[in-house]
Structure 1
Amino acid sequence: MPRVDTDTFYRNALERYGHNAQGAHWESARTQRVRFAVLRRLLPADLSALTLVDVGCGLGDLFRYLEVQGDRPGAYVGIDVVEPMVEIARLRTDGEILLLDALRDPLPGADYYLCSGAMNTLTREETRLFIERCLAASRLGFVFNLLRGEDDCDTFNYWEPEDIEALAQELGTDCAIETGYMHRDFSAALRHPVQGAISTDVVAKTV
């Protein structure tokens, strides 16, 4: 059973706060940018020849962050399950924004998948499936963040870095973890040990 109804959870925030970081359920634009900066460090130095899928793209803020940094990837695709967010992201970016459920729908193939915050309301079982599907759709790996702590909350999804390290070992991926940048938060990069083939089981198309 899901922790929350994702669509209602984010629609309510948008209606209350508007088209900003709080409307995407971030504490603030500053903490959103801190998380983006950490995830960026876990990606290759040069994105210019890479395709990047931003799963749970929300309002397109990651795309705008990279653009301001002069650090756009070769190709960018945003995915979100909340239709109003998809509509806004299409207006705010010039990337391809898709209305998809990452847990159920075929996913576009890419070099890297990236996720900032979208797994924070999933169950542990959904989180594992989300990670597996994003890895399967990626050629090089999946970079993401999670809330850190004991999984004892009805709304939010908490993990410990060692849980992700164990999952990475089980899935046969290399794992890099970054902590210490924010209380009760960590980021991870799960990378295929060799240049991987994208699984045809989850992929809709290759970007």
Structure 2
Amino acid sequence: MTPPRRPPAASPDALARYYDAALATHGDTARGAGWPNEDDRRTRFDVMADIAGPRLAAASLCDVACGTGALLTHLAATGRAPARYLGVDISEAALDEARAKHPDVPFLTRDLLAAPDPALPEPFDYIVVNGLFTVRAEVDEGAMWDFMTATLARLWPFARRGMAFNVMSAVVDWTREDLFHVPQDRLCAFLFGLAGRRVVLRNDYDLYEYTAYVFREGAAER
């Protein structure tokens, strides 16, 4: 039996370089966040928000890998801003943009894996991680899997109601070397071990990815 890999001590530098380069080249746009277009990015934002549904307006939300705060901008524009929000990112350049757009909202610069306990300053009703686990750039697949699972395990204790994140689908005509394609059975095996079987995988929004919702409560209580 192969022993499990040790969790990384910090987030991969290659990912930080990738996203900082995209922002420097394309600015505060979908392409600047590593996405191909604005329509698809808005779809992803809506799918992230759907984990909470109508509860979001009265909930607290932690937006991990928040970048320039575009998710919060979208939620506010569509009348779904949470009652309390915290954005977390490793990139100072992205957070400078976020703070300029939302001067009264807290944004925290932190590498969650390298940070001392606690990983977050407090629990939140919902935690969303949009895009952090879709691109692997120069990171090899094994290291990317370790990074993703270590990050999710670090965040899960801070999610009161649920957590949402997306990865690239492995059910595609071809895979790209720079993206992180994750088989659903492998992801479920990890998530079941983390949180039990209160897991939903969403494949219904016509992009070459899927989103995992991980809940504290069973379906009847949501």
TM range (shorter): 0.7 to 0.9
- Is contact 1:55-1:102 (8 Å) kept? no
2:186 paired with 1:163:
yes
1:149 maps to 170
Give the number of equivalent residue pairs: 194
Alignment of 1:124-203 (within 5 A): 124-149=145-170, 154-173=177-196, 174-193=198-217
Alignment of 1:1-207 (within 5 A): 5-93=14-102, 94-105=104-115, 106-108=119-121, 109-121=123-135, 123-149=144-170, 154-173=177-196, 174-193=198-217
Structure 1 length normalisation: TM-score? 0.85
- The structure with more helix, counted as a fraction of residues: 2
Structure 2 length normalisation: TM-score? 0.80
Q: CA deviation at 1:49?
A: 2.2
d(CA) in 1 for partners of 2:177, 2:91 = 21
> Once superposed, what is the RMSD of the aligned Cα atoms?
2.2
Structure 2 gap ranges (5+): 1-7, 137-143
Partner secondary structure for residue 36 of structure 1: helix
d(CA) in 1 for partners of 2:195, 2:73 = 33
Structure 1 gap ranges (5+): 195-207
Q: CA deviation at 1:156?
A: 2.2
Please tell me whether Structure 1 or Structure 2 has the larger radius of gyration of its CA atoms.
2
Q: Quick one: which amino acid aligns to residue 112 of structure 2? A: A
- Is contact 2:203-2:211 (8 Å) kept? yes
- Is contact 2:195-2:215 (8 Å) kept? no
d(CA) in 2 for partners of 1:89, 1:161 = 33
1:205 maps to none
